[in-house]
Chains A and B, each alone.
Chain A
């Protein structure tokens, strides 16, 4: 009897639990999840979840193979399964830096949750191991210079640089040897580009990746170190703050027009190391793989180039900076080339073999500044509309001018007139191009003009990633605008405005003083015939002056606005100040005059 009661209770509880987790309820989710999966996910992840969909071979990293139960982005320990929330987060937000997009705005919540349930059916581990426990994460302490400095020391002492490089650009000694568990090459994360971090860009995200590791990749977990008291949780936060500090505060915004400021004195620089570059505005230009013309390239190494431009009225200079894990050709990366080529083929245009290849970068313009938006085809033009290019290569180091009528039809025009200077330092190339605004060869070479937007595009190849010819990174057309020399009138006009304003002010005050004198009993006005006319004249003069000042204020405001939009922030600012002063003066004049009238002439 004593056994029966607990048994009934146990039986009922078990029955209730069984119903809660019954195949009926789960089954509906699985069925819905399968429908959604087959419509939106199977092209990449494969119908059996093995990461082998028809598009998979064009992707590095490959789509997730769900059959292994191996997930990079988790809140659980190394080797443990992800929680449902972990899987949902990746579905919602995607994996930055990969081809996996976020689905939060594309699919209803119920569908995304059903997907989680369905994805878990691909691996037996979800059934055999049960729900995992998330790690206990501490809250982020605020950042400080001390924390960042401590984190830097820790970064060095635990040798993060072995893979991520001394400056965090992913160019460590081991970077060329890294593969994931599926035998595909893996790039050590470039820590200066946190917007490409798979698991998110915040300091909390970075801390979590340090705690959990990125399973299936070479990135290990550091939780064991904390558990074994080899480091404290606080030290790990310092490290996370340091890593976060390597990237800019905000992900760079893409701006359509690259402004080439005019150097105030002297000439534009001829070297990448010139100090004048330090103050020059830097424009972020994203690049993507060339996937239009065969052989296409789906694994571009260079994902962006930062562009700075300066001119001095007779020459223009560009400094281009981009992260590149090696100075190609580097023999240490030859094996890597083989892995990349193996992973990215079946090949288009025949077999491609690993061999020493240089890094290259090309800047492209139309041969003449086009009317309106009528630009040559961005992929190096065509036979009807050629393009004009500056081409640089790291081996042998040098540059030339070229004209192109398509990706595979490029003719050199020699190096005359083009200055180039390049340096590779700690995972980053910097390249300078300089040319006179007037062309050497006006028939096929662009004549730069000041003050008009000139189309510009960029191409990059990482030789150690096997890139050359059509297999590289490209941008679409952007514009470069050489800042107009500020006309002297720009600086004279405020002075004239000030003098005029001051003059009118003096007139008004003197007018008012005269009025006061005339209004006095026995004053001058009594002596004049029609003495009442003088105050009226003074009042209307006050209104006229006020109106003129208001007009001047409006003009100054217009100047200020055009200054801001043209990128002349200093002019915009000072015209703004003048406009404000004029507006105040006008208001005082108008209000003062009006109040004076109501009070009537003083007795």
Chain B
């Protein structure tokens, strides 16, 4: 039922050397792996600090896009008026559907994988929410509450793709093996359905909801680069310093001007043109 997209290392001469080297010592770390996995560096939670932030939008947001759901009357019926999607969703003083994560500053550390599944639901022929974040190895559950044919076609580049059919009320679980911001998903049956999944190696990420606020809790003290990603407004970075027991405040500001200049990022129709991965790989 659950197919893991995990790494299986091939047997290479390098691994032979590691295996042989492992025989020499009494208490050398088992496995050894490929050498690029970060070593476990737990930190004392008592020293942690927090980041609390908000994402705001200045200017006039474009009106919601009206969706032609004539081909799916059951979906259209779930809306009181015309079915719409707000790609730039401003409300309650903030901007929703922004993926915020620690981009730099956590190198060399690894963190336990959250046992809670992240859930995307297909309801009213839309992904809800449009943007989520998951940690490498964390379970992502994609539900179909519409009970009609959807396919979930994920087209990542750093991870393996998948394309599964969901013709009935059901759910599919997947995991990701590599950092990738963002993995686009789309439904080919309903061309308007597009969603985004941010995959990072640590738990310090958030997708903003209505109101545009986010919290990154229990970070090790230190200096970090945060990135905020929005599908139509692009990305921006900020540095923040976390100190023990304190909550650092961060505000990202997106503007109307960015909309006119920005290409839709991670457009599922062109997954090979959604920003550079080198920045992540290079860390």
Contact = CB atoms under 8 A, between A and B. Distances in A.
A373 interface: no
Given A77-B3, A129-B8, A173-B71, A225 B153 contact: no
B145 interface: no
Nearest to A213: B163
Given A129-B7, A159-B149, A219 B170 contact: no
A7 interface: yes
A80 B191 CA distance: 25
Contacts of A127: 10
Given A21-B11, A182-B272, A224 B16 contact: no
Interface residues of A, number: 54
A213 B164 CA distance: 8
B258 interface: no
Contacts of B157: 68
A415 interface: no
Contacts of A173: 71
Given A127-B10, A158-B165, A183-B269, A11 B152 contact: no
A223 to B, nearest CB: 8
Contact of B153 (A68, A77, A174, A218): A218
Nearest to A50: B272
B13 A221 contact: no
Interface in B13-63: 13, 15-16, 19-20, 23
Interface string B145-170: 00011011111010011111111101
Given A21-B11, A177-B188, A218-B163, A162 B149 contact: yes
Contacts of B20: 7, 10-11, 14
Contacts of B190: 174
Nearest to A65: B272
Given A14-B16, A174-B189, A183-B270, A218 B161 contact: no
Contact of A220 (B9, B10, B151, B170): B151
A215 B153 CA distance: 9
Contacts of B170: 225, 228, 230
A302 to B, nearest CB: 24
A70 interface: yes
Given A17-B16, A225-B170, A219 B163 contact: yes
A87 B44 CA distance: 50
Contacts of B164: 78, 213, 220-221, 223-224
A11 B190 CA distance: 56
A509 interface: no
A81 B271 CA distance: 19
A534 interface: no
A177 B188 CA distance: 8
A67 to B, nearest CB: 9
Contacts of A163: 188-189
A178 interface: yes
Contact of B16 (A18, A159, A217): A18
B137 to A, nearest CB: 15
A215 B10 contact: no
A214 B164 CA distance: 10
Nearest to B71: A173
Given A14-B19, A183-B269, A228-B1, A78 B163 contact: yes
B172 interface: yes
A159 B163 contact: no
Nearest to B157: A68
Given A15-B16, A224-B172, A162 B189 contact: yes
B30 to A, nearest CB: 13
B5 interface: yes
Contacts of B161: 70, 78-79, 181, 215-216
A401 B148 CA distance: 49
B261 to A, nearest CB: 21
A223 B9 CA distance: 25
Given A10-B19, A11-B20, A218-B151, A78 B162 contact: yes
A478 interface: no
A382 B241 CA distance: 79
B175 to A, nearest CB: 11
A488 interface: no
B13 to A, nearest CB: 5
A128 interface: yes
Contact of A79 (B5, B11, B151): B5
Contacts of B165: 158, 213, 220-222, 224-225
A219 B162 CA distance: 10
Interface in A160-181: 162-163, 173-174, 177-179, 181
A221 B174 CA distance: 14
A224 B189 CA distance: 18
Contacts of B167: 157-159, 225, 230
Contacts of B172: 224, 228
A178 B164 CA distance: 16
A79 B23 contact: no
A188 to B, nearest CB: 9
Contacts of A79: 5, 154, 160-163
Contacts of A177: 188, 191
Contacts of A162: 71, 149, 189
Interface string A114-156: 0000000000010111110000000000000000000000000
A230 B164 CA distance: 13
Contacts of A224: 1, 3, 164-166, 172
Contacts of A158: 149, 165, 167-168
Given A131-B10, A158-B168, A228-B170, 11 more contacts: A10-B20, A11-B20, A79-B154, A81-B160, A129-B160, A158-B167, A174-B188, A182-B270, A214-B163, A224-B166, A230-B167
Interface of B: 1, 3, 5, 7-13, 15-16, 19-20, 23, 71, 148-149, 151-155, 157, 160-168, 170, 172, 188-191, 269-272
24 contacts: A3-B23, A10-B23, A11-B19, A21-B11, A78-B164, A79-B160, A79-B162, A81-B160, A159-B149, A159-B167, A159-B189, A173-B71, A174-B191, A177-B188, A181-B153, A181-B161, A181-B271, A183-B272, A215-B161, A218-B163, A224-B1, A225-B170, A230-B167, A230-B170
Interface of A: 3, 7, 10-11, 14-15, 17-18, 21-23, 68-70, 77-81, 125, 127-131, 157-159, 162-163, 173-174, 177-179, 181-183, 213-225, 227-228, 230
